[in-house]
C-alpha cells in the first residue's frame, strides 16, 4: 500500500482551483487562436481576440478569467494500492475552501431553498472511481453557471434514433445561445440511465479538445457530424454570429435499457477550465 | 465604435442602434439576482430605493473579491434573462440602461421600447479584461449579499454591444436571419 496524506490532497486541490481560474487550458488556448482565422466578420474576430487578451491578463494572477469562478466538480480516481490517513472527501473540500479564500475567488455555492451562501464554495461535487494501481488522480473543473444552466437532459425513445439525438443536441445549443458564453465545448452523454448520461456528458468535458472518441467509432462519427452542424448555427463567439459556435463536441456512450435512450447535453463555456493531477 | 456616458440621456439612447459597438464611461450600478429581489421587495412596500434609478444603468454582475490594492476583482456580465421578471418595474421607475449577456424576454423588450431604454451585451467570461475598465468601486447597498451587493462603479471605455434599442429592434433576432 502506498500511503498518501490527506494534507497533500488538500494542498494540491487548493493550487488546482486557483490555477484553473487563472490559466486557460493549453488545448483551449490553441483552439481559440485557430478560431480567429475561421471568422470572417470584424465583430467575431474582435471577440476572439478579446478572449485571448482576457487570458493574458488573467494569467498574471491578479484577476481570475471570469467573475463566476464556478462550482468545483471533481472526477476522482483512487488506486487500490493507496491508503489515505483520513477522509479524502473532507480533504478535497478543505482544499476548495482554502483555494477560494486565498485566491480571492468568488464563493458561489448556496442552499437551494434559502439561497444562503455556504461561504466556502463547498461542497464540491465529487464522482469517485476505484481503479487499479498506486495512484490517486484528481481531474477537476471549475464550472460556471451561465453554461451549466443551459444544459439539458432528455429521456428519448429508442425510435428517435441518431436523428432524434442530433435534434435534441442542436436544439439545446440553439437555446443556450449567447448567454452561455460561446464558443462552447459540448459534452454529450448517451445511454446508461438518467444520472449516468449526465455524468458521461460532464466527464466528456475533461477530454482534450482535439481528440475524438477512440473506443466507440459511432460516437466519434457523431462528434464530427454534430461539430459541423453546430458550427452552422451562426451563434458565433459570444452570440454575435460567426463560424465558431463550438470549439469541440465530445460524445460518450454506455449501454442502456432496451426501452430507453437517455441523452444529456452539458454545455461548457469558452474558458473550459479544467485541470488534472496525478499523485 | 461610439463613446457614450452613463447615466444616459435621451439623445444618447436615440442615437444607438442594434449591433453598435460602444465604449461606456461614467457611473453604473451592479445588481444581480439577490439585489433585484430585494429592490422588488422595497418597491412593493413603497420604501426608499438604495439609489435613484432615473437615467441610470445597471450592470448584471457579481465580481470576485478585490485583491489588496485593487479596485475590484474579475467583473464580467452574468446572464440577463434571470432578471427579466424584475426589469419592467425598474424601467417604469426611470432606469434607462442595462448591461448583461444573452437575450431578453418579450415583456422586457416591449418595456425597453415603451420607456425609451437600451440593453447592452458585454462579453461573457471576460471578467479579467473588464476589471481594468473599473476605476472606482464601492458597495452602496446590501453588503450582506457579498458578491450580490450593489456596487457603484466608475468605469472608463467599457466595451459592449447594443442588443435591444429604444426603437424595439433586437440584434439577436436580426443577426439570426442575416
Phi, psi (5° rounding) for residue A142? -105, 110
Yes or no, beta carbons of A238 and B73 under 8 Å apart: no
Yes or no, beta carbons of B123 and A270 under 8 Å apart: no
Preferred mutation among B60, B122, B127 to probe A, highest tally of A CBs within 10 A: B127
Nearest CA in chain B to A47: B123
Q: Are A17 and A105 in contact (CB under 8 A)?
A: yes
**Strands ordered across the beta sheet of A152-156:** A152-156, A261-268, A184-192, A246-256
**Class of residue A121 by CB neighbours under 10 A (exposed 0-12, middle 13-18, buried 19+):** buried
Question: Is it true that the peptide bond before A123 is cis, omega within 30 degrees of 0?
Answer: yes
Yes or no, beta carbons of A67 and B75 under 8 Å apart: yes
The string of pLDDT tens digits covering residues A127-142 is 999 999 999 999 999 9
Residues of B in contact with A46 (CB under 8 A): 21
Q: What is the pLDDT of residue A40?
A: 87
Yes or no, beta carbons of A179 and B79 under 8 Å apart: yes
| Percent of chain B topping pLDDT 90 | 96
Yes or no, beta carbons of A178 and B65 under 8 Å apart: no
Yes or no, beta carbons of B172 and A62 under 8 Å apart: no
Q: Which fold has domain B2-177?
A: fumarase (3.20.130)
- Confidence tier at B124 by pLDDT (50, 70, 90): very high
Yes or no, beta carbons of A50 and B159 under 8 Å apart: yes
Q: Cell numbers of A141, please?
A: 473543473
Residues of B in contact with A47 (CB under 8 A): 123
* ipTM (interface pTM): 0.91
User: Domain segments of chain B: what residues?
Assistant: 2-177
Beta pairing, strands B21-30 & B150-164: antiparallel
- Mean residue pLDDT of chain A comes to 96
pLDDT at A39 over 50: yes
Dihedral sign for Cα atoms in the order B86, B90, B91, B92:
positive
Tell me how far apart the alpha carbons of residues A62 and B4 are, in angstroms, rounded to a whole number.
28
**Identity of the residue in B75, B103, B131 whose CB atom sits nearest the CB atom of A179:** B103
- Confidence tier at B175 by pLDDT (50, 70, 90): low
Q: What is the pLDDT of residue B133?
A: 97
Dihedral sign for Cα atoms in the order A85, A86, A89, A95:
negative
Nearest to B111 by CA among B124, B123, B100, B96: B96
Yes or no, beta carbons of B125 and A106 under 8 Å apart: no
**Identity of the residue in A53, A104, A238 whose CB atom sits nearest the CB atom of B64:** A104
Residues of B in contact with A51 (CB under 8 A): 123, 125-126
Grid cell 417604469 is found at B92
- Confidence tier at B177 by pLDDT (50, 70, 90): very low
| Shortest Cα distance, chain B CAs vs residue A136, angstroms | 31
Q: What is the pLDDT of residue B173?
A: 80
- Confidence tier at B105 by pLDDT (50, 70, 90): very high
Full 3-state SS string of chain A = CEEECHHHHHHHHHHHHHHHCCCCCHHHHHHHHHHHHHCCCHHHHHHHHHHHHHHHHHCCCCCCCCCCCCEEEEEEEEECCEEECCCHHHHHHHHHHHHHHHCCCCCCCECCCCCCECCCCCCCEEEEEEECCCCEEEEEEEECHHHHCCCEEEEECHHHHHHHHHHHHHHHHHHHCHHHCCCEEEEEEEEECHHHHHHHHHHHCCCCCCCCCCCCHHHHHHHHHHHHHHCCCCCCHHHCCCCCCEEEEEEEEEEECCCCEEEEEEEECCCCCEEEEEC
- Confidence tier at B178 by pLDDT (50, 70, 90): very low
pTM to 2 decimal places: 0.93
Phi, psi (5° rounding) for residue A72? -95, 125
- Confidence tier at B176 by pLDDT (50, 70, 90): low
Tell me how far apart the alpha carbons of residues A168 and A69 are, in angstroms, rounded to a whole number.
29
The string of pLDDT tens digits covering residues B10-28 is 999 999 999 999 999 999 9
Supply the DSSP symbol for B83.
Answer: G
Tell me how far apart the alpha carbons of residues B142 and A129 are, in angstroms, rounded to a whole number.
43
Preferred mutation among B36, B123, B130, B171 to probe A, highest tally of A CBs within 10 A: B123
Q: How many CB pairs (< 8 A) connect A and B?
A: 139
The string of pLDDT tens digits covering residues A113-167 is 999 899 999 999 999 999 999 999 999 999 999 999 999 999 999 999 999 999 9
Question: What average pLDDT does this structure show over A42-71?
Answer: 95
All residues at 6 or more sequence positions from A178 whose CB lies less than 8 Å from its CB, including other chains: A235, A238, A239, A240, B101, B102, B103, B121, B124, B172
pLDDT at A202 over 80: yes
Nearest CA in chain A to B171: A240
The string of pLDDT tens digits covering residues A208-254 is 999 999 999 999 999 999 999 999 999 999 999 999 999 999 999 99
- Confidence tier at B141 by pLDDT (50, 70, 90): very high
Amino acid at each position: 500500500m502506498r500511503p498518501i496524506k490527506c494534507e497533500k490532497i488538500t494542498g494540491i486541490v487548493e493550487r488546482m482551483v486557483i490555477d484553473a481560474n487563472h490559466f486557460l487550458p493549453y488545448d483551449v488556448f490553441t483552439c481559440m487562436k485557430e478560431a480567429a482565422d475561421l471568422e470572417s466578420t470584424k465583430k467575431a474576430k474582435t471577440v476572439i481576440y478579446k478572449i485571448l487578451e482576457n487570458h493574458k491578463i488573467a494569467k498574471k494572477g491578479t484577476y481570475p478569467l471570469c467573475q463566476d469562478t464556478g462550482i468545483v466538480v471533481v472526477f476522482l480516481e483512487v488506486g487500490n494500492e493507496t491508503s489515505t490517513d483520513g477522509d479524502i472527501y473532507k480533504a478535497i473540500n478543505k482544499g476548495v475552501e482554502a483555494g477560494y479564500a486565498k485566491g480571492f475567488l468568488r464563493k458561489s455555492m448556496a442552499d437551494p431553498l434559502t439561497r444562503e451562501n455556504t461561504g466556502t464554495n463547498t461542497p464540491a461535487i465529487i464522482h469517485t472511481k476505484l481503479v487499479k494501481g498506486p495512484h490517486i488522480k484528481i481531474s477537476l473543473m471549475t464550472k460556471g453557471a451561465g453554461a451549466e444552466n443551459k444544459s439539458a437532459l432528455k429521456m428519448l425513445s429508442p425510435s428517435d434514433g441518431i436523428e432524434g439525438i442530433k435534434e435534441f443536441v442542436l436544439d439545446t445549443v440553439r437555446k443556450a445561445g449567447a448567454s452561455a458564453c460561446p464558443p462552447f465545448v459540448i459534452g454529450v452523454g448517451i445511454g446508461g440511465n438518467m444520472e449516468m448520461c449526465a455524468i458521461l456528458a460532464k466527464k466528456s468535458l475533461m477530454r482534450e479538445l482535439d481528440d475524438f472518441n477512440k473506443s466507440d467509432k459511432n460516437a466519434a462519427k457523431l462528434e464530427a457530424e454534430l461539430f459541423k452542424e453546430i458550427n452552422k448555427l451562426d451563434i458565433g463567439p459570444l452570440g454575435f454570429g460567426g463560424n465558431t459556435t463550438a470549439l469541440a463536441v465530445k460524445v460518450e456512450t454506455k449501454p442502456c435499457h432496451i426501452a430507453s435512450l437517455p441523452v444529456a447535453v452539458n454545455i461548457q463555456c469558452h474558458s473550459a477550465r479544467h485541470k488534472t493531477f496525478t499523485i | 465604435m461610439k463613446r457614450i456616458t452613463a447615466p444616459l440621456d435621451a439623445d444618447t439612447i436615440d442615437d444607438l442602434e442594434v449591433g453598435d459597438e460602444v465604449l461606456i464611461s461614467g457611473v453604473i450600478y451592479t445588481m444581480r439576482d439577490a439585489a433585484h429581489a430585494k429592490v422588488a421587495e422595497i418597491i412593493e412596500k413603497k420604501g426608499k430605493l438604495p439609489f435613484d434609478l432615473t437615467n441610470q444603468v445597471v450592470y448584471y454582475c457579481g465580481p470576485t473579491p478585490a485583491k489588496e490594492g485593487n479596485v475590484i476583482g474579475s467583473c464580467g456580465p452574468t446572464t440577463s434573462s434571470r432578471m427579466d421578471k424584475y426589469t419592467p418595474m425598474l424601467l417604469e421607475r426611470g432606469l434607462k440602461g442595462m448591461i448583461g449577456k444573452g437575450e431578453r424576454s418579450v415583456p422586457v423588450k416591449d418595456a425597453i421600447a415603451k420607456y425609451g431604454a437600451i440593453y447592452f451585451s458585454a462579453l461573457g467570461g471576460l471578467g479579467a479584461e473588464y476589471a481594468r475598465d473599473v476605476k472606482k468601486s464601492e458597495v452602496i447597498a446590501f453588503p450582506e449579499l457579498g458578491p450580490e451587493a450593489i456596487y457603484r462603479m466608475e468605469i472608463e471605455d467599457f466595451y459592449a454591444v447594443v442588443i435591444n434599442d429604444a426603437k424595439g429592434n433586437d440584434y439577436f433576432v436580426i443577426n439570426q436571419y442575416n
